[in-house]
Amino acid sequence: MDLAQAAWMIRDLSQPVSAIDLDQDSNLIAGGWDGSLKKWNADGDLLWTAQCQDRIESILRIENSVIVTTGLHISLVQEGEIKWSHALEGSADLLAFHEGNVVATSSVYDIEHGDFMESAIWKFSIDGELLDVVRFDERPWFMHADDNLTLGLGRPKCGALVNGKHQDLASDYPVTCGTAISDKILFGHADGAISNADGTKLSNESAAIESLSCTNEFFVAALESGDLVSYDFKSNQLWKSQGAPVTTQSLGFSGLHWCGRWNGMVGVVEVRDQQGQIVVDAKTSRPRVSTSIEDRIAIGFEDGQILVWEKKLFERRLEEKPTNTNERKSALAAKLRSLRE
């Protein structure tokens, strides 16, 4: 099966895609390296476009508002219009919505020392009023909001910050990434450990953890070495795969794992089943970001393209018998033309 031919739609941001989001109505929002922000509906119609200050790092949806971190700023966009924008100190990084307020993190990088020297947590009202700012030494590499506001921290303190209080984790090495689903929060660490918010170490890998994705039954870790490894929550390894460095990963419909890799010259997207077997793969531009909901998954690429797959169509394509080469090329060309219109 050709992955591009199986896509529900292909859209072009006209610049490298740096952030991407799907809501439960399958509306797609994408942000780019040069600040372009666009929203399409479930059918692929462009709803609006906006130009922000700089590279879009994070996207947060609150009803009809879209909040983004863009370079040094946090901005709120409604229907393509920037309603308010505030400069933070250093780069604007992560976003969350907690107790009715917008929470953003920022970090200051010191070139001379080659490390992040100061970070801050900013709290804004939905109207853009600055309510509070707390400064500290550690950069947050992960933030999640539910009843609690949880941040995974780098050095020097490491550990987690939960509602403003420091909490030790199962590894005392810096948190490098995290993920959350339902009541589960996982942290990846620089020493290869994977821990949860209860202080339990679930795994100890041979290289730093670059990213994590999870369902309620299992999780997948991408290592700095390029390895992918999957475990259940009883620490039983389900599968492991080696390859080029992982640039993005998401768990999509039917428990399929979608992974983007980049070897410095060629990109690839790999789709695996729950046993770790590749269902389909394809060479691509460099995959940069991905996101998923129950019945759709989207991946944004270095060349500005965004591919979106829909569950039923993808499953039908998997079941189809292969056609001859000429028929397949003609069908793919027609499909690409229709997707881009």
Does residue 25 lie within any of the structural domains? no
What pLDDT is attached to residue 310?
96
pLDDT-derived band at 174, boundaries 50, 70, 90: very high
For 222, the token pair is 């991408």
Convert the pLDDT of each residue in 112-147 to its tens digit: 666 677 899 999 999 999 999 999 999 999 999 999
Residue type present at position 129: E
Does residue 287 lie within any of the structural domains? yes
Task: Give yes or no for a cis peptide into 156 (omega within 30° of 0).
Answer: yes
246: Cβ–Cβ under 8 A, 6 or more apart, which residues?
Answer: 210, 211, 222, 223, 226, 228, 259, 260, 261
Read off the pLDDT of each residue in 15-43 and give the average, rounded to a whole number.
97
Number of separate domains in the chain:
1
- d(CA 9, CA 2) in angstroms, rounded, equals 14
For 152, the token pair is 């995974």
pLDDT-derived band at 331, boundaries 50, 70, 90: low
Q: Which domain holds residue 4?
A: 1-16+248-341
Q: How far is CA 69 from CA 77, 93, 111, 125, 299, in A?
A: 11, 6, 22, 15, 20
What pLDDT is attached to residue 8?
95
Is the separation of the CB atoms in 153 and 160 below 8 Å? yes
What pLDDT is attached to residue 106?
96
Residue length of the chain? 341
Read off the pLDDT of each residue in 78-101 and give the average, rounded to a whole number.
97
- d(CA 131, CA 134) in angstroms, rounded, equals 11
- d(CA 47, CA 19) in angstroms, rounded, equals 18
**Sole residue written with tokens 């992974």:** 259
For 83, the token pair is 């309603």
For 177, the token pair is 């990434």
pLDDT-derived band at 253, boundaries 50, 70, 90: confident
* pLDDT greater than 80 at residue 110: no
Convert the pLDDT of each residue in 208-229 to its tens digit: 999 999 999 999 999 999 999 9
* pLDDT greater than 70 at residue 341: no
Convert the pLDDT of each residue in 270-281 to its tens digit: 999 999 999 999
Around 292, how many Cα atoms within 13 Å sit in the side-chain half-sphere?
22
Average pLDDT score over the chain? 93
Does residue 7 lie within any of the structural domains? yes
Does residue 232 lie within any of the structural domains? no
Does residue 80 lie within any of the structural domains? no
Does residue 211 lie within any of the structural domains? no
Residue % of the chain over a pLDDT of 90: 87
What pLDDT is attached to residue 318?
87
Does residue 226 lie within any of the structural domains? no
Furthest C-alpha separation in the chain: 63
Determine the Cα angle at 199 with ends 193 and 204, to 5°: 15
- d(CA 234, CA 140) in angstroms, rounded, equals 27
Does residue 281 lie within any of the structural domains? yes
